[in-house]
Copies of this chain bind each other. A is one copy, B any other.
Amino acid sequence: MADDELSRIFAALADPTRRDMVARLAVGDATVGELADPYDVSIQAVSKHVKVLTDAGLVSQTKDAQRRPCHLEAEVFDLMTKWIDRYRQQAQERYERLDDVLADMRGDDLTSNHREQGAAS
């Protein structure tokens, strides 16, 4: 995987177990052991997942005796959201421009339904 921040964030969330852990942490902080509880993988595996999340900046860990409570750093989501919105909006605008062009080309008689080709959502 590439080592830039955005790549680390996307990669971290590309795993359902880790997304699950993020969902769990959105409810409240939790220790590694608590996070591990619902899953039948080893604690070490969960510890690795936490490491991936912290390396991506999505989670921070503090010290509480032997425990290492995990805290969700929701601000990092913004980086992703900004990236996504930028290109979505860009595509959207291009789309509307295309609509205009098509409308101009044929005199506004259709309700711009030029999206009937492949694998749409």
> Measuring CB to CB, which residues of chain A are less than 8 angstroms from any residue of chain B?
1-2, 4, 6-7, 10-11, 13-16, 19, 22-23, 25-28, 54, 57, 60-62, 71-77, 80-81, 83-88, 90-92, 94-95, 117-121
A25: B residues at CB distance < 8 A: 91
Q: Which 5 A-B pairs have the closest CB atoms?
A: A11-B14, A10-B14, A60-B118, A26-B90, A74-B91
Count of identical protomers in the assembly: 2
Q: Which of B23, B117, B121 contacts A75 (CB 8 A)?
A: B121
Which residue of chain B lies nearest to A95 when distances are taken between CB atoms in the complex? B74
A61 to chain B, nearest CB (A): 6
Residues A76 and B118 in contact, CB atoms below 8 Å apart: no
Q: Which of B10, B27, B54, B92 contacts A90 (CB 8 A)?
A: B27
Report the separation of the CA atoms of residues A61 and B118 in the bound assembly, to the nearest whole angstrom.
7
A118: B residues at CB distance < 8 A: 60-62, 71
